[in-house]
Amino acid sequence: MRDRIDRIAAERTISAEDLRALLETQDASATEYLAARARETAQRVYGRQVYVRGLIEFTNYCKNDCYYCGIRRGNPNAERYRLTEEQIFDCCRSGYALGFRTFVLQGGEDAYYTDERICGLVSAIKKNHPDCAVTLSIGEKSRESYQAYFDAGADRYLLRHETADEAHYGKLHPPELSLSNRKRCLWDLKEIGYQTGCGFMVGSPGQTVETLYEDLRFILALSPAMVGIGPFIPQKDTPFGKEAPGTLAQTLRLLSIIRLLLPHVLLPATTALGTIHPQGREQGILAGANVVMPNLSPVTVREKYKLYDNKICTGDEAAECRNCLNGRMERIGYEIVTDRGDCKMPET
Ligand code: 5AD
Ligand code: FES
């Protein structure tokens, strides 16, 4: 198994058999070796520094109906909210004081937030905080819209591809959504010049080693600056409410594999990982992740941005999360830095 892991690290490719072997092994020393190699790889590029992003969940209105997601339009129990521009600027102001130098505006696909409004938000945040990066995570748009946000100053864009397998994509999404459009969006974002992030949930219903292999092939082809992966966690009001969650172990293995394939990638230890295990984020960092993304949204709306159940930190102010994460990272020998945290990929 060590040979396989060394070969993946050296060649930065993976075969379907390697992937199966790594995901199915019962040999704890093999998975520890995998994590150790990935951790060293991350440290070679980023040291023991962890980048932090302030996540602002600014609207939970969504026109889509993805079967896994708690803010899907078909969920009548989702209490809808939208932050005002002033609330968003306040989040950035207090985040800046806490050392955040990247703000991630994440929301459902909400028609209220027209391109004009998004561009206005982005340019105002960049004007207030010229030394900060703005990341958008607002779903599938036309190339023209992506270009307009970029021209307004947006630096990065997160759009998980969710799965790179057509049939699996169709099990997770209603027919009006297509993998081909998802991929079109990601290629457009990259061509426009964004630091682009794709990603997927680990353990989503219908996922197999084969679909994961397709995910890795797609990620290698796209060569994104960021990859967001976290466990699938059921949300009780969705069609997948009674499905089994993804596991900590598989998520950690996939984080490590992605780190070996893309040594420079920005790889978050996600909130979902922290939700399925009390030390999930620490273990994610120790498996090769190098980013954490605490929430900056006002505590009054936290509970409502419920993509999945039992989400952590819904009652904690931004400052509490920042302190909490500082401590968590220090205890494992890492440090959160006040930095935009751009991708150190030579080609981006
Ligand atoms: N469990 C885990 N992650 C989820 N997401 C949406 N719903 C869930 C869920 N039930 C993820 C999707 C989306 C990102 C914003 O959150 O991958 O792209
Ligand atoms: Fe939010 Fe620990 S990160 S309380």
Question: Residue 142 maps to which CATH number?
Answer: 3.20.20.70
Q: What does the mean pLDDT of the chain come to?
A: 97
In this structure, which ligand is nearest to the CA of 281? 2
pLDDT bucket at 346, cuts 50 / 70 / 90: confident
Alpha-carbon dihedral angle through residues 40, 312, 105, 90, given to the nearest 10 degrees: -120
**Which is the closest atom of ligand 2 to the Cα of 281?**
3
Nearest CA to ligand 2 atom 4: 321
Domain total in the chain: 1
The residue among 42, 39, 41, 5 whose CA lies nearest residue 22 is 5
On the 0-12 / 13-18 / 19+ scale of CB atoms within 10 A, 205 is middle
Task: Kindly state whether residue 14 falls inside one of the protein's structural domains.
Answer: no
- pLDDT exceeds cutoff 70 at 338: yes
Amino acid at 166: E
SS3 state at 54: strand
Task: Check residue 75 and give its pLDDT.
Answer: 98
**Residue range 6-21: mean pLDDT, rounded:** 97
Distance 259 CA to ligand 2 centre (A): 25
CA-CA distance, 50 to 159, in Å (whole number)?
22
Task: Kindly state whether residue 77 falls inside one of the protein's structural domains.
Answer: yes
Distance 42 CA to ligand 1 centre (A): 25
Task: Kindly state whether residue 3 falls inside one of the protein's structural domains.
Answer: no
Q: Do the Cβ atoms of 222 and 190 come closer than 8 Å? A: yes
- pLDDT exceeds cutoff 70 at 109: yes
Task: Check residue 348 and give its pLDDT.
Answer: 47
CA distances from 348 to 101, 104, 155, 196, 303 (A): 19, 19, 12, 10, 36
Whether residue 308 has its Cβ less than 6 Å from ligand 1: yes
* Ligand 2 lining (C-beta closer than 6 Å): 294, 313, 316, 320-321, 324-325
Task: Kindly state whether residue 20 falls inside one of the protein's structural domains.
Answer: no
Task: Kindly state whether residue 5 falls inside one of the protein's structural domains.
Answer: no
Task: Kindly state whether residue 193 falls inside one of the protein's structural domains.
Answer: yes
Task: Check residue 347 and give its pLDDT.
Answer: 52
Distance 4 CA to ligand 1 centre (A): 31
**Which is the closest atom of ligand 2 to the Cα of 294?**
3
CA distances from 324 to 60, 83, 96, 250, 279 (A): 26, 25, 17, 25, 12
Task: Check residue 105 and give its pLDDT.
Answer: 98
Whether residue 307 has its Cβ less than 6 Å from ligand 1: yes
**Which is the closest atom of ligand 1 to the Cα of 309?**
10
**Which is the closest atom of ligand 2 to the Cα of 312?**
1
**Residue range 259-269: mean pLDDT, rounded:** 98
- pLDDT exceeds cutoff 90 at 345: no
Global pTM reads 0.97
Instruction: Look up the domain containing 268 and give its range.
Output: 38-337
- pLDDT exceeds cutoff 60 at 290: yes
Nearest CA to ligand 2 atom 1: 321
Task: Kindly state whether residue 16 falls inside one of the protein's structural domains.
Answer: no
Give the whole-number percent of the chain exceeding pLDDT 90.
Answer: 97
Task: Kindly state whether residue 30 falls inside one of the protein's structural domains.
Answer: no
- pLDDT exceeds cutoff 80 at 45: yes
CA distances from 57 to 147, 203, 293, 321 (A): 22, 24, 12, 15
- pLDDT exceeds cutoff 50 at 133: yes
In this structure, which ligand is nearest to the CA of 160? 1
pLDDT bucket at 151, cuts 50 / 70 / 90: very high
**Which is the closest atom of ligand 1 to the Cα of 201?**
17
Distance 151 CA to ligand 1 centre (A): 28
